[in-house]
């Protein structure tokens, strides 16, 4: 773990807590990939990642992540948390894990794994799903 990696993790968490998509994607590489496993196809590139993040916040405007544990390694970070919020007025909370691959002090890839079964049981649908245009 380096001070740069720790600083990146702190700034990234703060950007998500502030619900600031621009600050979030500024910490990603240009060719970044964000894959929410079990929640659709990966978003590739900063613009697509930003769009995915905006859709997440639209689905759950009060979304928050209560950190449990963070593991730092050479070129990667793993974060365990509880994701909480409301979707259409229904509260939810589930466990999640993010695996970050780093490149040149930025996030090159973010793989998110959520307890989808718990989410679906609580609200009957995926609160982070992007809305589809008809």
Q: Are strands 43-44 and 64-73 parallel, antiparallel or unpaired?
A: unpaired
Task: Tell me the per-residue pLDDT of 40-93, one tens digit each, with 9 for 90 and over.
Answer: 899 999 999 999 999 999 999 999 999 999 999 999 999 999 999 998 889 999
Task: Tell me the per-residue pLDDT of 12-44, one tens digit each, with 9 for 90 and over.
Answer: 999 999 999 999 999 999 999 999 998 889 999
Its pTM surpasses 0.85: yes
Predicted local confidence at residue 129, as pLDDT: 57
Q: Which domains does the chain have, with CATH numbers?
A: 3-123 (3.10.450.50)
Task: Tell me the per-residue pLDDT of 91-102, one tens digit each, with 9 for 90 and over.
Answer: 999 999 999 999
DSSP 30: E
Q: Are 45 and 31 in contact (CB under 8 A)?
A: yes
> Residue 122 — φ and ψ, nearest 5°?
-80, -40
Rounded (5°) CA angle 50-75-65: 45
């Amino acid at each position: 773990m380096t001070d740069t990696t720790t600083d990146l993790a702190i700034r990234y968490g703060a950007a998500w807590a502030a619900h600031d998509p621009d600050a979030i994607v500024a910490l990603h590489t240009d060719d970044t990939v964000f894959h929410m496993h079990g929640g659709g196809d990966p978003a590739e590139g900063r613009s697509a990642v930003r769009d995915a993040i905006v859709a997440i916040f639209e689905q759950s405007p009060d979304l928050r992540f209560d950190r449990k544990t963070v593991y730092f390694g050479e070129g990667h970070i793993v974060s365990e948390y509880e994701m909480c919020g409301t979707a259409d007025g229904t509260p939810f909370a589930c466990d999640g894990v993010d695996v970050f691959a780093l490149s040149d002090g930025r996030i090159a890839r973010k793989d998110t794994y959520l307890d989808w079964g718990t989410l679906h049981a609580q609200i009957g649908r995926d609160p982070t799903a992007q809305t589809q245009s008809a």
